[in-house]
Amino acid sequence: MHSDDSVDFFTQSEFGPHNIEKTLEFQKKHNLSREQANKILRMEPEDRVLEMKRLETIRNRTKQASGGIARAKFGLGDLVKEKIPAEYRLYAKSILPGGEEGKVGSDYFTEDFKQELRKQALDKYKRTGKLRGTVGEVDQHRGDPTINKLIGFPSTYASLGTYTYDIDPKTLDVKITDRYDWNPAYGKQKIADTEVIGWIGDKKGKDVDLPMLKDFAVSAVKEGWSPSSALELIGNYFGGKASEGKGFDVDIDIPTRKATSATEGSFAKGGLAKILGV
């Protein structure tokens, strides 16, 4: 037993020499640490596959963090940007190699998407009088937002969740910032007489592990499944976890495009409050 209370593999009496040899062979073949090899060999076959896939994904992220997808500015092609909604591109980036760090800027998003964010931020200011604040789920349902039909949430919320806005009172330029990571907010809860696996909140939940994914799969076969819950569980399992300080930053600048009847000539007559009619 080590000073951190962990037990050295070679001192575990349940393993004979043949098992030690088998583990060392497995460790070398898959480039694992002794602890990883020991842990995986104790798993059920289907759990081994998932764990090996998870470790492979993490290795690829490390290798490609300074090149590959990260260097190629993943998802910024005009065709991809216009045809694939931001929420899907951000999600894919978060679980693919290189997605546990870095930054996404204004050019990652379509103009229509940015204008929806701008509209939400200005609406929040009009109601609160705050030049800096957050825009949550309820705020993003106001007006006529673009809705993601798969999960039933506004596209902006499916992309960023609750985000932070800053408004320049002189120009009406809007800055949106967010941290794209996965919070430890998943687990089991009872709804009526049914046990549901998915998001249960930051205070009660935890990060997704193999047993939780396995239980979700079993439940999905028996009771049916929720696409949004499946995406969240997989995202937390493979994506950058907030509990580990991993994730990437989103930083969007949305300048005022042109003067309108609502803004023209208003800067000298009372500033932002008068422009927005508050």
pLDDT, tens only, 29-50: 888 787 787 888 888 877 777 7
* DSSP classification of residue 108: G
Q: Domain residues of the chain, as ranges? A: 186-238
**Residue 56 corresponds to which tokens in the numbers above?**
């492979």
**Within its chain, how far is the Cα of 23 from the centroid?**
35
Pick from 177, 169, 141: nearest CA to 156: 141
Instruction: For 108, list phi and psi in degrees, rounded to 5.
Output: -75, -20
**Residue 80 corresponds to which tokens in the numbers above?**
């991809």
Q: Is 179 exposed, middle or buried (0-12, 13-18, 19+ CB in 10 A)?
A: middle
pLDDT, tens only, 118-135: 999 999 999 999 999 999
Q: Please state the rounded mean pLDDT for residues 176-199.
A: 88
- Statement: residue 64 has pLDDT above 60: no
Q: What is the CA radius of gyration of the chain?
A: 24
* pLDDT score at 16: 46
Q: Strand, coil or helix: what is 249?
A: strand
- Statement: residue 277 has pLDDT above 50: no
Whether the model pTM is above 0.85: no
Q: Which of 34-43, 136-145, 198-207 has the lowest mean pLDDT?
A: 34-43
Question: What is the rounded CA–CA span in Å between residue 270 and residue 144?
Answer: 29
Q: Give residues with Cβ within 8 angstroms of 117, minimum separation 6.
A: 135, 156, 163, 165, 174, 176, 252, 254
- Residue 209's pLDDT band, with cuts at 50, 70 and 90, is very high
